[in-house]
Amino acid sequence: MRPGYFIDYILKRVPLLRRMPLQRWVDRLTDADGRMWSRVIMREDCERLLAQLEPNNLKVLEISGKYYASMGFRHYRSTHYPEFDICATVLNETFDLIIAEQVFEHLLWPYRAGRNVYQMLAPGGHFLISTPFLVRVHNEPTDCTRWTEMGLKYFLAECGFEFETIRTRSWGNRDCINANLVSWTAYRPRLHSLVNEPAYPYHVWALAKK
């Protein structure tokens, strides 16, 4: 058992009140910064992709999240379920960019949702989507679907996006997958590897253009 995995294992099994001082000490020792291990590379790459789109010129909708609110978009709006159900309806406006981070795996009707996203995009608009792949089932409130890079590309094409414009990425490794089997794991740079093992993707994401 590797040291990082062993420390994660111990922290997750020590009762909460006893764990708090231990966890603070481990956080300082390992330079933990509050990020989730599984999302470090995904978010860094998504932010690079969005930076290439000149964010200050974009009208943006983020579905069920607010992570990208601080990127300096010209106009930013966030919606949340159940007040807005992307599977069932569309907003009466169009956007230059729509973002759905860790949303589509929870949808009962992902193809309906994908077509609704396509409908709300202005011509030439982009859709940034990320989903987990090798991750435990987490019903929030449901957990339905997984895609590989190829699967996500064909899914987006079926929703209407031009196949050749769809750029996919993925990242993961076995240690990260194992560490997250019990509960979500904070990133500790001194312990956790960001090396990608392509056969073990934890997260898959794509940027598609209308």
With a cut of 80, say whether residue 151 has pLDDT above it. Answer: yes
What pLDDT is attached to residue 193?
A: 94
Percent of the chain topping pLDDT 90: 77
Q: CA-to-CA distance for 149 and 188, rounded, in angstroms? A: 27
Q: Could you name the CATH architecture of 3-209?
A: 3-Layer(aba) Sandwich (3.40)
Three-point CA angle 92, 121, 116, nearest 5°: 70
201: confidence class by pLDDT, cuts 50, 70, 90: very high
The mean pLDDT value for 151-175 works out to: 97
**What mean pLDDT is predicted for residues 140-147?**
94
Give pLDDT, residue 17: 46
Where exactly are the structural domains of the chain?
A: 3-209
Rounded Cα distance, 24 and 187, in Å? 13
Per-residue pLDDT tens for 30-50? 666 879 999 999 999 999 999
Reference 105, options 57, 143, 48, 70; nearest CA is 143
